[in-house]
Amino acid sequence: MTGVDTHQLEQLESNARREVAEAESLPDLTAIRAGYLGKKGSLAAILRGIGELDGAERAAVGKSANITKGRIEQCVAERRAAIEAAVRKQALGAQALDTSLPGVEDPPLGRLHPITRVFRDMVEFFSSMGFAIEEGPEVETQYNNFEALNIPEVHPARDEQDTFYVDGGNVLRTHTSNVQIRTMTGRTPPFRFIAPGRVYRHDLSPRHSPMFHQIEGFMVDEQVSFGDLKGLLMAFGRHLMGDDIELRFRANDFPFTEPSAELDYVCLLCEKQGCAVCSGSGWMEWGGCGMIHPRVLENCGIDSERYQGFAFGMGVDRTALLRYGIPHIRLLFEGDLRVLGRI
């Protein structure tokens, strides 16, 4: 008998089946297959011995070797399919969406920005008093922003307001009072309007930002007095800040109103003790107001002998600072949720 017989092939197949069955990964399986069926593998080594056999035996062993090879290939293919299926199942398992899991507890809720809330409150109040809403452009002619409001070019108010000038000789409006001019021109009284919007001045401090928000209001009729203005603004202050809010009117001087007053309210941050936000005074300037200067009415084509009116302008951002206890105006615009999320 030669060095090759069917028993060797059976043994080889048996070993191969055991190893293949134990393979855990595709690289392992490939290495095992090469060890048995590759050019330098066990089966090739056996076949090298059949040259010593006679013709009939050689043919019989060769045939058996081919059958063994086929069976081992079949065994490897089955194992490969099983490993691939296991890998696929694992991957799908990792991505699976388990809809029975509990959701995120207490997801954070969005809310309106403090300025939007104050604006809405203000608009709601004046709407209930019969005021209509008007809007105007933020890039304005110098005439509508200054001259028509009785602020000639030499007037110191132009410097005080630290104006931003833009191309074409226009300005970024320094107040919402431009809407007074645009709205009153060509209209016949009586009327009452408010004009909420953004305004711009070259200024930065705990109370000032280069861009800020104002609400302008004005009313023109045949019998309008400073008493009407005062009563309206007192009611407005109580609506926004509560019935206990302390307000004061302080005589002042504006070119577009006569007489003019500054409206202050008690600094709610320090309760009159004085702090950085109120510059130690205990009071916050809220806005300016007064009876519309006859010259402004005339500039808009309104008969100042027959009609009078009052006008006022309030800082919206400053109202938000006080109402929500925010110590610096910049915090309103930085979008920091640690601040805005608590308000």
Instruction: From 7-15, 72-80, 141-149, 275-283, give the range in contact with Zn ion by CB under 5 A.
Output: 275-283
Q: Which is nearer to Zn ion, 327 or 341 (CB)?
A: 327
Instruction: From 34-42, 80-88, 119-127, 266-274, give the range in contact with Zn ion by CB under 5 A.
Output: 266-274
Instruction: From 206-214, 246-254, 260-268, 295-303, give the range in contact with Zn ion by CB under 5 A.
Output: 260-268
- Tokens 């930002």 belong to 209
* Dihedral sign from CA coordinates of 146, 147, 153, 155: negative
Cβ distance 149 to 256 under 8 Å?
A: yes
Instruction: From 41-49, 164-172, 188-196, 277-285, give the range in contact with Zn ion by CB under 5 A.
Output: 277-285
Min CB(336)–Zn ion separation in Å? 22
Instruction: From 4-12, 103-111, 219-227, 267-275, give the range in contact with Zn ion by CB under 5 A.
Output: 267-275
Min CB(250)–Zn ion separation in Å? 17
At 212, give phi and psi (nearest 5°).
Answer: -150, 180
Min CB(267)–Zn ion separation in Å? 3
- Ordered DSSP codes for 58-87: HHHHHHHHHHHHHHHHHHHHHHHHHHHHHH
Tell me: does residue 234 bind Zn ion (CB under 5 A). Answer: no
- Ordered DSSP codes for 99-148: TTS---SSPPPP---HHHHHHHHHHHHHHHTTPEE----SEE-HHHHTGG
Min CB(280)–Zn ion separation in Å? 8
Instruction: From 127-135, 220-228, 261-269, 285-293, give the range in contact with Zn ion by CB under 5 A.
Output: 261-269
Amino acid 11 reads Q
How many of the other CB atoms lie within 10 Å of CB of 199? 24
Tell me: does residue 268 bind Zn ion (CB under 5 A). Answer: no
Tell me: does residue 206 bind Zn ion (CB under 5 A). Answer: no
Tell me: does residue 263 bind Zn ion (CB under 5 A). Answer: no
Residues 105 and 103: their CA atoms lie apart, in Å, by 6
Min CB(273)–Zn ion separation in Å? 7
% helix, strand, coil for the chain, step of 5: 45, 20, 35
Q: Which is nearer to Zn ion, 234 or 275 (CB)?
A: 275
Tell me: does residue 269 bind Zn ion (CB under 5 A). Answer: yes
Tell me: does residue 278 bind Zn ion (CB under 5 A). Answer: yes
Tell me: does residue 275 bind Zn ion (CB under 5 A). Answer: yes
Cβ distance 207 to 275 under 8 Å?
A: no
Min CB(209)–Zn ion separation in Å? 18
Where does residue 325 rank: exposed (0-12), middle (13-18), buried (19+ CB within 10 A)? Answer: exposed
Min CB(241)–Zn ion separation in Å? 14
Tell me: does residue 270 bind Zn ion (CB under 5 A). Answer: yes
Cβ distance 296 to 149 under 8 Å?
A: yes
Tell me: does residue 32 bind Zn ion (CB under 5 A). Answer: no
Min CB(238)–Zn ion separation in Å? 20
CA distances from 300 to 87, 132, 186 (A): 82, 19, 7
CA distances from 6 to 13, 45, 128 (A): 11, 14, 106
Min CB(276)–Zn ion separation in Å? 8
Given candidates 194, 233, 267, 297, which one binds Zn ion under the rule CB under 5 A?
A: 267
Q: Which residues bind Zn ion (CB under 5 A)?
A: 267, 269-270, 275, 278
